[in-house]
Amino acid sequence: MTRSLIVGCGAYLPSQVLTNHELAARVDTTDEWIVERTGIRTRHIAADGELTSDLGEQAARAALASAGIDARQVDLIVLATATPDRTFPATATAVQAKLGTRQGAAFDVQAVCSGFIYALAVADNFIKAGQSRTALVIGAETFSRILDWQDRGTCVLFGDGAGAVVLRAENGACEAAATAPSNARPRGILSTHLHADGRQHDMLYVDGGPSSTQTTGHLRMKGQEVFRHAVINLAQVVEEALAANHLGAADIDWLVPHQANRRIIDYIARKLALPIEKVVLTVEQHGNTSAASVPLALDVAVRDGRIKQGDMVLMEAMGGGFTWGAALARW
């Protein structure tokens, strides 16, 4: 059995930081409202001319460096984004060119805020199928470019950034019994779980696009509906991931959730009876960076020494579509 080891991670945040107080000078909002309803205090904003592929390249370089892997070894780049540089070609190919490589496949995955979990599942399945040995999985976004800066209900929530992981095929890792204790399980991605319900696609969407309006459009959201579905869907998919691996919440060392809203994260932690100390939180500093949020959070917790080799890490996300998913990995 071939499995995917996560052998490195990296992240990149644009240097400009936008605070709630600065936002309050632009739209009718307050720092107190944003903190109380979302937990967000700051977000990063890409500079003029700084592209999603630039953010993705920096995150990819950091991930490759932490893995000690040369870009020329990468035979697959899967980049999750809802804010590509261009309608086509894929932003993944721009990152490939910036990394100076030309081997293997490179393509984008579009599942909005669930994009990183979707991209991780795609790359994991390429590796399991024997079609890739070394994969770069990137989540990169410049949501600041698709926000309606007059709409206080959405413009306060999102930020820009990128995160990446390197997966490497590990052959012949012995299978532990399904009921073995969590610390006896092999390292690597244990399972991924993806869902979509396209009936809800107008709950969170961009009101533009090449085949509809020929404009880029702006993000539109029914916030309360998204919130309601997020808590239900995320609670379901984390339970599904645990059950599929015969594990309980007590076996989880770190929950690395999509960083959309502190109240959604708190709800999932409570539902799992997981102490909040076991949850990696970056929403306060990064806001919602869509497909970048989970790998950004992974990178923070790996670099500050919280996530260590052998730890059981549960990742989850939910986004427009709706799409949602979870991935369980032994680091």
Distance CA 127, CA 169 (A): 6
**Residue among 126, 57, 51 nearest 96 (CA):** 57
Q: Considering beta carbons, is residue 134 or 261 the nearer one to ligand COA?
A: 261
Contact 122, 129 (CB under 8 A): no
Could you give the CA distance from residue 52 to residue 316 in angstroms, rounded to a whole number? 22
From CA 141, how far away is CA 153, in angstroms rounded? 20
Catalytic site residue 113? yes
Residue nearest to ligand COA (CB): 223
Q: Which of 35, 134, 51, 127 is nearest to 93 (CA)?
A: 51
Is residue 21 annotated as part of the catalytic site, yes or no? no
Rg, the chain, Cα only: 19
Which of the following is catalytic: 9, 113, 229, 286? 113
Residue whose C-alpha is closest to residue 151's, from 95, 89, 221, 214: 221
Contact assessment for residue 299 and residue 11, using Cβ atoms and an 8 Å cutoff:
yes
CB of 145 to ligand COA, least distance (A): 17
Q: Which stretch binds ligand COA (CB under 6 A): 2-10, 45-53, 223-231, 277-285?
A: 223-231
Rounded to whole angstroms, the Cα distance separating 47 from 120 reads: 28
Between 127 and 230, whose beta carbon lies closer to ligand COA?
A: 230
Phi first, then psi: what are they for 294, rounded to 5°?
-70, -50
| H-assigned helices in 113-151 | 115-128
Q: Closest distance between ligand COA and the C-beta of residue 100, in Å?
A: 34
Phi, psi of 84 (to 5 degrees): -65, 160
- Applying CB under 6 A, does 223 fall inside the site for ligand COA? yes
Burial of 208 (0-12, 13-18, 19+ CB in 10 A): middle
Identity of the residue, 186 or 223, whose beta carbon is nearer to ligand COA in the bound complex: 223
- Positions in 144-203 near ligand COA (CB under 6 A): 152-153, 156
Nearer to ligand COA among residue 109 and residue 247 (C-beta): 109
Which residues in 73-112 contact ligand COA (CB under 6 A)? none
Q: Is 193 a catalytic residue?
A: no
| Annotated active-site residue in 9, 258, 261, 286 | 258
20, 233, 261, 288: which is the annotated catalytic residue?
288
The 10 Å Cβ neighbour count of residue 36 is: 11
Mark residues 240-279: x for contact with ligand COA by CB under 6 A, - for none.
Answer: --------------------xx------------------
In the complex with ligand COA, the residue whose CB is nearer, 260 or 274, is 260
Minimum distance, C-beta of residue 314 to ligand COA, in the bound complex (Å): 18
* Residue placing its CB nearer to ligand COA in the complex, 218 or 330: 218
Regarding 113 and contact with ligand COA (CB under 6 A), the answer is yes
For ligand COA, the binding residue among 17, 33, 41, 50 (CB under 6 A) is 33
- Phi and psi of 306, rounded to 5°? -70, -55
Q: Which residues are catalytic?
A: 113, 258, 288
Binding site for ligand COA (CB under 6 A): 29, 33-34, 37-38, 113, 152-153, 156, 221, 223-224, 226-227, 230, 260-261, 288, 318-319
